[in-house]
Amino acid sequence: MENNIQPLDPIAISLGPIQVHWYGLIIGVGIALALIIAMREGERRGLPKDIFADLMLWAIPIAIISARIYYVIFQWDFYSQNPGEIIKLWNGGIAIHGALIGAVITAYIFARKKKISFWQLADVAAPSIILGQAIGRWGNFMNQEAHGGEVSRAFLENMYLPEFIINQMYINGAYYHPTFLYESIWNIIGFIILILLRRANLRRGELFLTYVIWYSIGRFFVEGLRTDSLMLTDTLRIAQTISIALIIGALALIFYRRKTGLADARYLDKA
């Protein structure tokens, strides 16, 4: 049976020399949906109508570049020998932590320039960010990357996965953990939680920091299953190390901002 399994075509559209890959298309859909949700919520919170559209013009390209730079740095042994591969984003190889670093720095500078609260921007954007991540993981699925260790077909069938997912997890003669799916589901649950927490009227900044904590917990455990992790040492995974640091940092920020009175404003307060 396995001999007849063919992977899904990673190319969505091919017009002569022009090829549109599913990877980029799926990420684009995730970004577009995230932007729509953030813009609608931003208006309800009294933010300028086009504030997120303006932010995205800067944040998206910077996030993509920083995500790629982050990935290339930790895979320099390969890219130093194959510099032409550095620009081939359609083959995968961007790191979400790198993207978040670039996006957060951009958003902070943007908020300062526009004289609006960075924390309010971050809170409004938090559900959109994690939903975009949930969608984006399906780009990894199409590229047959970001998977876990080897498993049996029976293992996947016992998870009641659709046939197309099981078949796509058949890579080079073996089946693998669909870790892209685990993280996608975790992020969708996180999206629902963040939407519900809006009604709790948390202190400003805490919705975003809750996102950081939730995502980092899931990423820590999913990363432990993956076989393509970026490594800091032979045994230390970069994503797990950063996830722990982010959890500790987010909790410390919540405590510090409450203790010092920097978090007196609430989520439902108008801009």
Q: Does the annotation flag 257 for ligand binding? A: no
Q: What stretches of the chain show up as alpha helix (H) in DSSP?
A: 22-44, 51-74, 76-79, 96-114, 118-142, 153-157, 163-168, 179-197, 206-223, 238-259
Tally of residues, the chain: 271
- Annotate 195-230 with b (16+ C-beta within 10 A) or e (fewer): eebbeeebbbbbbbbbbbbbbbbbbbebbebbeebb
Amino acid occupying residue 90:
W
Closest CA to 64 of 46, 86, 49: 86
CA distances 121 to 2, 113, 191, Å, are: 49, 13, 16
What is the widest separation between alpha-carbon atoms in the chain? 64
Q: Is 152 left (phi over 0), alpha (psi -120 to 50) or beta?
A: beta
Beta bridge partners of 13: 20
- Annotated binding residues, written as ranges, equal 137
